[in-house]
Structure 1
Amino acid sequence: MRPAPIRTQRQDGFTLIEVLITIFVTAVGLLTVAGLQAASKKVNFETAQRTSATALAQDMVERMRANPGAKSSYLTSDATTVASATGCAAASAACSSTDLAAYDVYQWGQRLLGAEERDAGNNSTGGLVNPTGCITYNSTSKVYRVVVAWRGYSAVPISTSSSDPASDTCGTGLSRYTDPLTSGANDLLRRLIVVEFI
């Protein structure tokens, strides 16, 4: 009887090169996901800022419509710098329509800054990033314009068309919206919401 022939089995498995390629492909995939996550957070933050700015602009429009006799008293170049006004929130407060307008502008400026939203350490947690609130009146077209400006993440070109609402000058020249990645003073990081009404 002959002994059975010995079969040599070939080793099957991963070589070091295959393992390295797998690690490289996985790393590239994870870095891509991390980049998408960061971009998504920026977009979500910009969207939240725009939503807040829209609500705040509309809030001021409604306040002005509720006090039509004092619309001209609402005009301001920056509501965030308005000094404290007579409190007109209490039912017993004796405020004229002009007092109410001053109070509304002050309150609006505080809301833009997020002064009403505080954490446990009494730090402001709401509002917009470097906001500016402007209210203007065009005597030719008889249109009031409520503008909310804030600081965005990335630079955008500045509109030069006078018919474009983005060409509004609210917040320009304050160094709040200068892009540090470009030279000189500019307003490339300025974002705007513009609401016009009669």
Structure 2
Amino acid sequence: MLMKRPAFLAFGAVRMPTARMRRRRAAGGFAMIEVLVTLVILVFGLLGLAGISARINAAEMESYQRVQALLLLQDMADRLNANRKVADCYSNATTGVQVGVGYTGTPACTNPTGNAQGNAQQNAQAVSDLSLWDAALKGSAEVNGTKIGAMIGAVGCVIRLDPTASGLAAADVVYLVTVSWQGLTPTAAPVTAAGRPGPCGKGLYGNEALHRIVTTTIQIGTLTP
């Protein structure tokens, strides 16, 4: 049997691609495009997941800070309620007291007027309460050195409200306790009620839209025989 010899192209001749070769090249090109499109979609998906994760972390941090602020607010409200005889020591009468981040002084009961009729032991207790509150606001509750104490830029204020400006009766003795801190996402600047002083911590955080506060009021009754 005679074997058919393969045909050889002349030197310098160009072999034209067959239809099968063209189809293979086209299929390979489309596959490469599909891979690139898939990679682009995957990258955008990962970026979206990263953005969602960042928002979730920020929301969790905001929630954690608010919970800590409410605990610190209730802590001072309980301390003041338990030592009502010298309530003015907690606010330095009508001057107001601000402790926490940025405060470097030592709390003192230097102006016990109004309803502050207690004894030296009660005055000392008020000073101790303010000192402990100041330390808690600065994060003294940290565990094993990890920074999980209070909020960012935590500040606490105790103010005795002016009855006339606040629309209260002249005999009313009302204290405004506030805890202030810095949030992570801009929202809206805090607004106080008419006749009350500006919000605790105002101007400490740059953008007031990052300023967060929680407040409570404590009224000290005036007992008559």
- TM range, normalised to the smaller chain? 0.7 to 0.9
Give the alignment's TM-score, normalised by structure 1. 0.75
Alignment equivalent of 2:129, drawn from 99, 104, 112 = 104
Does residue 199 of structure 2 align to residue 169 of structure 1? Answer: yes
Q: Distance in 2 between matches of 1:161 and 1:110?
A: 26
Q: Distance in 2 between matches of 1:161 and 1:56?
A: 20
Identical-residue share of aligned pairs (%): 28
Alignment equivalent of 2:216, drawn from 175, 190, 195 = 195
Is the Cα contact below 8 Å between 1:77 and 1:170 reproduced in 2? no
Runs (4 or more) in structure 1 with deviation over 4 Å come to 10-14
Question: What secondary structure, in the 3-state scheme, does the structure 2 residue paired with 1:78 have?
Answer: strand
Per the alignment, residue 17 of structure 1 pairs with 33
Question: By how many angstroms is 1:143 displaced?
Answer: 2.2
Q: Distance in 1 between matches of 2:72 and 2:198?
A: 17
Per the alignment, residue 26 of structure 1 pairs with 42
Matching residue's letter, 1:189 = L
For structure 2, which runs of at least 5 residues remain unmatched after alignment? 1-19, 109-119, 220-225
Per the alignment, residue 153 of structure 1 pairs with 184
**Max radius of gyration: which structure?**
2
Alignment equivalent of 1:117, drawn from 139, 142, 147 = 142
Q: Distance in 2 between matches of 1:25 and 1:98?
A: 67
Please provide the CA RMSD for this pair: 2.9
Count of residues paired in the alignment: 171
For structure 1, which runs of at least 5 residues remain unmatched after alignment? 1-7, 86-94, 180-186
Does residue 96 of structure 2 align to residue 79 of structure 1? Answer: no
Alignment equivalent of 1:63, drawn from 79, 83, 96 = 79
Per the alignment, residue 69 of structure 2 pairs with 53
Q: Distance in 1 between matches of 2:80 and 2:107?
A: 18
Q: Distance in 2 between matches of 1:25 and 1:146?
A: 52
Per the alignment, residue 9 of structure 2 pairs with none
